[in-house]
Structure 1
């Protein structure tokens, strides 16, 4: 059976001395450059090296900074999350360092962003993106406490505070059914594009099935073609409502409808999700508003508790039987989901009588 990788193995793979690796994992990376710190963590990931937090007392050396990896902040959902996370972090007398991944990247930039945050020696990392799988995230951070915020997560080793997207999909389905709609188009995207979109639409379709509604999936991507396809399908299949997975797609659909002379909601209703963009109330878009402030506050509170727990573990005696690969994150990983609320709007009106059957 092969032996587990050691600190010496990490040092050779990263091209640094063993003492440099030791300073990164045990002494806060003092006098170690950010580039070298990143190389060391990357080497540890490749080799499967997991440092013993209990033996080193790693948590004792962390500073007052927390990191946030976030997706394209031009999306109102991410922009609001960034603002609320910053406010919540300041509330516990810490500073927030953020790295933004491109909205068009499917994971690479997110992993690189995590490595950059680690290189800044943050006390803990929040991951507020919707693409990289949790299995890849847990391998990326070998020693820094990490928490997923906003996006769906059920990984047993990563704590999370998320929007309750399952409930959001069901809330929207209930509102659509209450307005008398029976056949609807649902814009869908691959899991790789957005785990949030996928969960919302799957939950909505499941609830529609329970209510006796028929859902017709329509490919979302690329968005400008997806909304046009949805309008075509609604006309050809006599559908009375189009469900968009996010508000900015619903806005694109409204633009496409105007260009085609399609009246919203007289000819077809439409809805979105997020409820955070400025002016949505003036447009009257029916949507579900995300509980961003509540999620941010709870995430920071839980991160503080996680850092305290890690510190207590580091100060205690080693576990029975020797090195167990660090603090047992699996035993305390918790997943909290917080629901938002449905916001009615003029874009979701009663279905025409001839489309109610």
Structure 2
């Protein structure tokens, strides 16, 4: 199609009337069935139709209702994020509608979940999942403010407030090296399984190389077999520590070690990531605690900014948000770091976004806290020495 798609094009592709398409985009879906609404949005996605949200006033009429696409809530990290997002949204005087996409669906359930949220006429959507690529999210959501929460993201068109998983991976590597470990096993998973796991482990491996710590990657999946492989590899190759990409894997490793008579940390140490599950202090698991509440609170405040900008119009000055300068380290020590701001000259010294181009999205990351635990001890050779 040589010209930009119109409402008429969307109507023909969806098999509905133009007035139905107009009600979906300009009337917030009033008097439109959920099935018809999904058909219209899917047709708009296929054609590349993007509706002017400001002109329609959709954010103004339905701004109290926000959507959250969350990954498997049985994972404590996602369950805690779900609870904190609810708390932050309620504190802002809004309502949160959530849809859960279970793990191992590799993106299919996430796209379906986004379609269901759009059918609920939400004003904006938070995406708190770890699988679907940002490029696919942009194609799926055509007319709503979208924000990634709690996972790595650097897409120039999608705002995000996330955990600083790069810093977390590096911090764990430093703690392992400080304990005296020089040869370790690292459980790793494919990018498709979890972008969060991938960034944690890649950052850890990079920092280990800098510190002179030798690493042996062991395939994680399936988890029950992965932890056994890691224990066998550590025994056979004389490795003194096993890194798990998430706490629930570390717990599985502790169970497998107990069944085989492997002592933690006397025979081999282990560390995890997340620090959310109840009772970790009793177990003594060394891990990184995610700053879930801080991320949720900032994400909701940022969504307020996005909706306010949409209502004010394209020529209005950007709404002030705390510390949005490019690459600014948080001076107050909250652990927040910001990437490229959406206003002002770009990093190359050119002019900022023009009224005809979308503003560059802002990306904030919050670093968590390392929790020392009994599962990370000195290697056996150092204790004997």
Give the whole-Å Cα distance in 2 for the aligned partners of 1:354 and 1:148.
44
1:164-243 matches, cutoff 5 A: 164-243=164-243
Mapped contact 2:169–2:204 kept (Cα < 8 A): yes
Mapped contact 1:13–1:43 kept (Cα < 8 A): yes
TM norm structure 1: 0.94
User: 1:104, CA displacement in angstroms?
Assistant: 1.7
User: 1:60, CA displacement in angstroms?
Assistant: 2.6
Mapped contact 1:239–1:355 kept (Cα < 8 A): no
List gaps (5 residues or longer) in structure 2: 317-354
Give the whole-Å Cα distance in 2 for the aligned partners of 1:83 and 1:356.
46
Aligned residue number for residue 104 of structure 1: 104
Aligned residue number for residue 362 of structure 2: 334
1:58 corresponds to 2:88: no
Mapped contact 2:180–2:382 kept (Cα < 8 A): no
Give the whole-Å Cα distance in 2 for the aligned partners of 1:242 and 1:340.
21
Q: Deviations over 1:157-195 (max 9, x none)?
A: 000000000000011011101100000000000000000
Q: Deviations over 1:121-171 (max 9, x none)?
A: 001100000000000001111001110000000000000000000000011
Mapped contact 2:110–2:132 kept (Cα < 8 A): yes
SS of aligned partner of 2:12: helix
Mapped contact 2:71–2:103 kept (Cα < 8 A): yes
Q: Which moved more, 1:9-18 or 1:327-336?
A: 327-336
Change (3 A) 1:183 1:329: farther
**Alpha-carbon RMSD:** 1.8
Aligned residue number for residue 125 of structure 1: 125
Aligned residue number for residue 282 of structure 2: 282
SS of aligned partner of 1:157: coil
Give the whole-Å Cα distance in 1 for the aligned partners of 2:106 and 2:259.
32
Structure with more contact order per residue of length (Cα contacts < 8 Å, sep ≥ 6): 1
User: 1:328, CA displacement in angstroms?
Assistant: 6.7
User: 1:37, CA displacement in angstroms?
Assistant: 0.9
SS of aligned partner of 1:331: coil
User: 1:353, CA displacement in angstroms?
Assistant: 2.1
Give the whole-Å Cα distance in 1 for the aligned partners of 2:55 and 2:80.
39
User: 1:351, CA displacement in angstroms?
Assistant: 1.3
Mapped contact 2:53–2:144 kept (Cα < 8 A): no
1:29 corresponds to 2:57: no
Aligned residue number for residue 339 of structure 2: none
Aligned residue number for residue 332 of structure 2: none
Aligned residue number for residue 147 of structure 1: 147
Mapped contact 1:240–1:269 kept (Cα < 8 A): yes
Give the whole-Å Cα distance in 2 for the aligned partners of 1:17 and 1:276.
49
Mapped contact 1:58–1:314 kept (Cα < 8 A): no
Mapped contact 1:56–1:314 kept (Cα < 8 A): no
Aligned residue number for residue 4 of structure 1: 4
Aligned residue number for residue 298 of structure 2: 298
Change (3 A) 1:228 1:112: same
User: Match for 1:348 among 371, 376, 379?
Assistant: 376
Give the whole-Å Cα distance in 1 for the aligned partners of 2:159 and 2:384.
44
Give the whole-Å Cα distance in 2 for the aligned partners of 1:148 and 1:224.
30
Q: Deviations over 1:53-77 (max 9, x none)?
A: 3443433332411100001100000
Mapped contact 1:68–1:97 kept (Cα < 8 A): yes
Change (3 A) 1:74 1:173: same
TM norm structure 2: 0.87
List gaps (5 residues or longer) in structure 1: 317-326
Aligned residue number for residue 20 of structure 1: 20
Give the whole-Å Cα distance in 2 for the aligned partners of 1:356 and 1:7.
75
Give the whole-Å Cα distance in 1 for the aligned partners of 2:55 and 2:4.
16
The number of residues matched between the two structures is 348
SS of aligned partner of 1:154: coil
Give the whole-Å Cα distance in 2 for the aligned partners of 1:79 and 1:103.
13
Give the whole-Å Cα distance in 2 for the aligned partners of 1:111 and 1:300.
22
